[in-house]
Amino acid sequence: MPVDRITLHGIRMPFVHPFRTSFGRTDEKIALLVEVQGDGISGWGECAAAEGPFFSPEDYWTARHVLRDFLGPMLLRSGSDDPLKLPAILGRVRGHPMAKAALEAALWDWQARRREVPLWRMIGGRRDRLPCGVSIGIESSVERLVERISEAVDDGYRRVKIKIEPGWDTETVRLVRESFPSIPLMVDANGAYKLEDAGHLVLLDEYDLMMVEQPLAYDDLLDHARLAQRLRTPICLDESIRTEHDLRLAVELGSCKIVNIKQSRVGGMTVARRIHDRCEAAGMPVWCGGMLETGIGRAHNVALSTLSNFVLPGDVAASQRYFDRDTVVPPIEVVDGFIRPPDLPGIGYEPDLEWIRAVTFEEVSVTGDAKDSL
C-alpha cells in the first residue's frame, strides 16, 4: 500500500546558543517537518530551508508552498512508494531541492520502517562508527570563541570548524591556533570573499588548516579554480555543489579538492549518493555538513554519513549542542567524538511527538490536488 497521507508540521525551537555566520545571526530554529503515512506506518523528513532566503533561494515559506501545492500532491497521485523513483516523479518542478529532499527523506524513512531495516543499511552504508566534527559560529569575542572550542575539544569532537568573514578571519585564526596548536581545524566563509581577496586569504596557509570551505560566491566555480591555484590550503565546496553537473565542472576546473555533501542542498538522498559515488571515483574525499537541523534531519545525515567515502569528520553533532530538547528520542549522542548509527528500523530514532506538538505553530495537510497548469 503506497503513502496515502502527508502532513507538514511547522515548528520553532530555541537554540542553546545563538548561531552567527557571515549571513547573519539566528536564535531559534524554524523547521518544516514532513510526515508521510501509509500502511499504518509514519516516515519523517525535515526541510532545512531557513526562515529567510540567504543561504539558499528557498526559505521555510516557499518550501511549505511547494510541498503543499505541488510536490506532496505529485507523490500522492503517483501511487509510488519507491524513494529512488521520487526525483523523476518530482522532476517537472524546477529547483526547490530542499523541499524535494525533505519529502524524499520522509519516504526513505517510511520505506525502511516498512521493511524493518535501518535506513543506513538500506542505502548501502558501510561505516558503523562516524567521526564527528563541530561547527562554531562567529562569536562576540575571540575569548568566547576559544571557550566554545575548548568545550568541543573536551567533549571529544574530532574536528573544529569556525566561521569567518572579512574582519574576523586571519587574526582570529592565528589566536585560535595559539590556543590549540594541534587540533584538526578548518574555516568556513559561506561565500563572504571575492577573488580580489586572494592576497589576504593566502595568509590562512600559515595555520595548517584542513580546508577552507566556500570562500567565494556559490555560483563561481571558475574563480574558485583560480583561487585554488594560489592557496596551499585545500578548498572545500559547499553551496557551489548543487547538482551532479556542478560537481563535474568543479572537478574538471580544479575548483576544489574536498566536497561537503548536504542532501538538503542537492535535492535528496538519491542525488547525494550519486554525488558521493562520483567524488569517490575522482578520488575526492567528502564529509556531511549540517544545516542546524533538529534530530529528524540530523538522523538522516547520520545515515548518509555511513557511505564509504565520507572519510572526513562531518558536522553531525550531538542534540545537546543545539537544543535542550530535540525532536527525536533518544537524543542523538556523540561518545568520545563518534556517533554509531542505530541498528533500528528507519532513521533509528523515534519522533518525540509530545515535544513536536508543543513546538508546532502550524500543521498543514496535503491533498492530491496538484496545481499542474502554468
Residue at grid coordinates 538538503: 264
CB-count burial class (<10 Å; 0-12, 13-18, 19+) for 40: exposed
Q: Is 163 a catalytic residue?
A: yes
Question: What are the E-state strand segments in 101-179?
Answer: 130-131, 133-136, 159-163
DSSP H or E stretch at residue 260: strand 258-261
Three-state DSSP at 209 gives coil
Please state the separation of Cα 202 from the chain's center in Å. 28
Which of 29, 100, 161, 262 is flagged as catalytic?
262
- From the list 210, 161, 156, the residue with the least C-alpha distance to 189 is 161
What does the block give as the cell for 235?
A: 578548498
d(CA 150, CA 63): 37
Burial 301-334 (b: 16+ CB within 10 A, else e): bbbbbbbebbebbbbbbbbebbbebbbbeebbeb
d(CA 77, CA 299): 28
What residues pair up with 130 in beta bridges, in sequence order? 339
Sheet holding 41-47, edge to edge: 41-47, 24-38, 5-21, 360-366
The radius of gyration computed from the CA coordinates of the chain, to the nearest angstrom, equals: 20
Residue at grid coordinates 562508527: 129
Tell me how far CA of residue 84 lies from CA of 45, 108, 123, 225, 240, in angstroms.
15, 9, 10, 33, 24
Q: What's the residue count for the chain?
A: 374
Which of 29, 85, 163, 257 is flagged as catalytic?
163
Q: Is 161 a catalytic residue?
A: no
For the annotated catalytic residues, the residue numbers are 163, 262
